[in-house]
Structure 1
Amino acid sequence: MSVLNPTVCLQWRWQTSLQFVRFRKRINIQRPAAPHYEKAKVLKVCKPYYLNPREGMSLADLCEKPIEVQPRNEDVENPYERILAREVLNWFNHSRLVAFFHSNPISAEDRFRTNIMLKKQNMYLKQYGKKVMRMALEDTKYEPVLTLFVSRNFMVFSPELQVGKLLKLNRRIPQLILMAAIVDDRFMSVNELVKYSNMPDLKTAQAGLVAVLNAAAVQLTQNLTHHQQTLLGHLQKHIELQQKMSNEEEA
C-alpha cells in the first residue's frame, strides 16, 4: 500500500487550472473567416436544397386570390345569450338606478377594486355584449338605451336611489366615464344627475311642503280673525281702564 506525499497532494489541490482559448481575438460574427477547404466541401454537400413551388408558374397563377371567408350567421340564436338577455332585463326591471359608463382601458386589478367599492354601496358592475343587450331591450321601454352601446360600456345597477354616492365613487374611478343614467324609469343626462343629487330627499321635501301648506293655512286664519282679535283687544283695554277709574274713585 502506497502512501501519498502530503506535500504533493497540497500542490495538486492549489494548482492553478488552465483554460484553453481557441481564438486569440474576438470572433467576427458579421464577417466570419472562411472554413478549411475540406470542411467547406462537407458543408457544401450537406447544404439543404429546397424546391421552388412557384417555379414555372405564370403571372396570373402567381396572383394570390383573396381568401373567401364565410360570413358569420348572426341569425343563429345562442341559448346562453338568451339566458343572459333575461338576466339583463331582470336587472333593468328591479333597479331604481341604472348608470351607463364608457370604459377606457382598465386593468383587472382596478376593475376588481371598482367592484368592491360598488358592492359595499349595494351597487353592481356589469358588462354585456351588444347582441345580448339588443336581445334583452328590443321592443321594451328601455330600447332607446341601445344607442349608447357603440363601444365598450359598463353598467351599474342599484336597487336604491344613490345618485350622490355614485357621483362620488365615479371621481375615484377615472377609467369609467359616466354618460347617462335611468332614475326611477326616467332617462337623465350627467347634468341632470348632478342637479338631482343636490335636491333633498323625498321625506325632507314632503316635510317642507307640509310646512308651506300649514303656513298658508295659519296666515289665512290670522287674516280672517284679524278684526275680531282687534275688537277684543280694544274691549279688554276699555274694561281695564274702567276698573282702574273705579278703584281710584273708591280710594
Structure 2
Amino acid sequence: MSALTSTVCLQLRWQTSLQFVRFRKRINIQRPAPPHFERAKVLSVCKPYYLNPRKGLSLADLCEKPIEVLPYKEVVKNPYEHILAREALNWFNHSRLVAFFHSNPVSADDRFRINIMLKKQNMHLKQYGKKVITMALEETNYEPVLTLFTSRNFIVFSEELQVSQLLKLNRRMPQFVLMAAIVDGRLMSKNELVKYSKMPDLQTAQAGLVAILNSAAVKLTQNLTHHQQTLLGHLRKHIEIQQKSPSEEEK
C-alpha cells in the first residue's frame, strides 16, 4: 500500500500542467480576423439600426437655436435668513453713516476689542453673509453696494454722522480696511470721506454762508451811499468851520 501511494505521488509531482488556449498566437485587436460566413450573416442581421432624427427636416429646422433658460431662483428654506435680511435692511434705513470694511485675518480677542471701541462711540459692528445681504438690498437703493461683498466683509452702522471719529478709529484697527461708506444716502470712497471729515458741520457752514451774503449786501450799500456820506462829511466840516469863525472874531 505504501509503494502504491509513493508511486502516485511521484506521478502527480512530475506531471506537467496543461493550459488550454483558444488561439495559438495573440489576438490582433486592431485587425481582427473575419468571422465565419454564417456568423457574419447573423451579426449583420442583429446589427442595431438607429433612425436619423434630422432626416426630412428643412434647413430652417436644422438651425440650432439657443435654448432659453429661465433665471434660476434659489428657494430659501431657512426662515431665519429672512429675519436677518429684514434686520440688515432696517440698519441701512436708520443709519446716517454706513461704512464697509474688508477684514483681514483677525483673532477673536482683537475683534472683541474693536467691537467695544466702536460701541463706545455709539457705532455697531455687524457681519452678514453674501446670501443674506443680497436678500436685504436687492431691488433697493442700496443695491450698488453688493459689488463690495466679494470676500469677508464687516459693516459699521452709526445713527450719527461721525466720519472723523470713524477715520480715527480706523487707524487703531489695522485688521479692517475701509473700502467705502454711505453718508446721508450718498456713496463715498475713502478719499471722499477724508475730504468730508475736514469740512465744517452744517451749522457752521450755514453761518459762514449767511455772513458772506450779508457782507456782500453791506458792501453794496456802502458803495451806493459813498457819495452821500462824503458830501455829508464835507458839509459838517464846513459848518464847524463857520461856527468857529465868529467866535474868533469876537476875541
TM-score, scaled to structure 1: 0.70
Q: Deviations over 1:182-231 (max 9, x none)?
A: 00000000000000000011111111111111111111111111111111
Q: Does 1:184 align with 2:203?
A: no
Counterpart Cα distance in 2 of 1:77 and 1:244: 104
Gaps of 5+ in 2: 1-72
The Cα RMSD (Å) is 1.0
Structure 1 counterpart of 2:78: 78
Matches within 5 A, 1:114-133: 114-133=114-133
Structure 1 segments (4+ residues) deviating >3 Å: none
Code of the residue aligned with 1:133 in structure 2: it is: I
Counterpart Cα distance in 2 of 1:77 and 1:196: 43
Counterpart Cα distance in 2 of 1:217 and 1:144: 45
The alpha-carbon deviation at position 154 of structure 1 amounts to 0.2
The alpha-carbon deviation at position 74 of structure 1 amounts to 3.9
Counterpart Cα distance in 2 of 1:206 and 1:172: 33
Counterpart Cα distance in 2 of 1:198 and 1:85: 34
Structure 1 counterpart of 2:55: none
**SS class of match (2:75):** coil
The alpha-carbon deviation at position 246 of structure 1 amounts to 1.1
Counterpart Cα distance in 2 of 1:181 and 1:190: 8
Matches within 5 A, 1:1-251: 74-251=74-251
The higher radius of gyration belongs to 2
Counterpart Cα distance in 2 of 1:223 and 1:78: 75
Q: Deviations over 1:107-135 (max 9, x none)?
A: 00000000100000000000000000000
**SS class of match (1:181):** strand
Counterpart Cα distance in 1 of 2:135 and 2:154: 17
TM-score, scaled to structure 2: 0.70
The alpha-carbon deviation at position 244 of structure 1 amounts to 1.2
Percent identical among aligned pairs is 80
Counterpart Cα distance in 1 of 2:104 and 2:226: 68
